[in-house]
Chain A
Amino acid sequence: NAGVTQTPKFRVLKTGQSMTLLCAQDMNHEYMYWYRQDPGMGLRLIHYSVGEGTTAKGEVPDGYNVSRLKKQNFLLGLESAAPSQTSVYFCASSSRVQNTGELFFGEGSRLTVL
C-alpha cells in the first residue's frame, strides 16, 4: 500500500532551469495538495486540486504551475527556478467523501536551487 508517492526525492537545479515534481496517490482521493516546508515558516500551500482537471491557487503560488490530468496524479512545475524556491516540497491527498480533514502526505522532495 504505497499511499502518496513523490518523485524525485532530491534534486539540485541551477537558477533558471525547469523541472517537474510528480505526485501519485493510490487511495482514490479527490483532493490533492502541494505544500512547501521552510524552517520557521511551517507548511504553506502552493496549489491544490479538488478533482481531475481542476486546480486552484494556494497561499504561495507564484513561480509554480500545476496540472491534474489524471485523478491519481498531481504535477508541480517550476518553469524558471529561483534560489527562493529552495525548499522541501510535500504532496498530500485527502478524501472528499470522508472529509475529515486528514491529509495523507508523501515523503517529501528536497529541492535546492543554486
Chain B
Amino acid sequence: AQRVTQPEKLLSVFKGAPVELKCNYSYSGSPELFWYVQYSRQRLQLLLRHISRESIKGFTADLNKGETSFHLKKPFAQEEDSAMYYCALSGAPGNTGKLIFGQGTTLQVKP
C-alpha cells in the first residue's frame, strides 16, 4: 500500500538550530515526493519536490530509496519557518497531482 509517515506531530527548536523533519514512504515503484508547507493564515503551498533537487528558503530534501525516506533539512532555523509541513507522495503516474499526504509536522521555532 502507498503510505507516507511523518512520525513527529510537533518539532520545537530554537532559532539558529538545525532542523530535520522526518518523512518515510511506502511505494512500489519510482516515487515522486514533495514537501508542502502551510504558514499561519496562509494557503497550503509547495515547498520543494525531489525531482528538481533544489533548495528553497534554505530547505533541502534528499530522496533515499534504500531507507525509503525524504527528510526535510535546514541547517539554521528561522522564526519565520514556523509552520505545518506535509510530506506527500505522488500515487498515480501520469497524474502527479493526485497526492498522498503524511500526517503533518508542526515546526515551532522559538526565539
Contact = CB atoms under 8 A, between A and B. Distances in A.
Given A90-B44, A100-B49, A101-B49, A42 B102 contact: yes
A45 B99 contact: yes
A74 interface: no
Given A101-B90, A101-B96, A44 B46 contact: no
Interface string A24-57: 0000000101010000111111001010000000
A102 interface: yes
A51 to B, nearest CB: 11
Contact of A40 (B43, B95, B103): B103
A103 B101 contact: no
A94 B103 CA distance: 22
B55 to A, nearest CB: 17
Contacts of B9: 40
A44 B91 CA distance: 12
Interface of B is mostly: loop
A79 B33 CA distance: 35
Contact of A105 (B45, B100, B102): B45
A104 to B, nearest CB: 8
Given A99-B94, A100-B96, 13 more contacts: A31-B95, A31-B97, A42-B86, A43-B44, A43-B99, A59-B100, A90-B44, A92-B97, A94-B96, A99-B96, A99-B97, A102-B34, A106-B43
A40 B86 CA distance: 11
Counting chain B CB atoms within 10 Å of each CB, the highest count among A33, A44, A94, A103 belongs to A103
Contact of B44 (A31, A50, A105): A105
Contacts of A45: 98-100
A105 B43 contact: yes
A33 B97 contact: yes
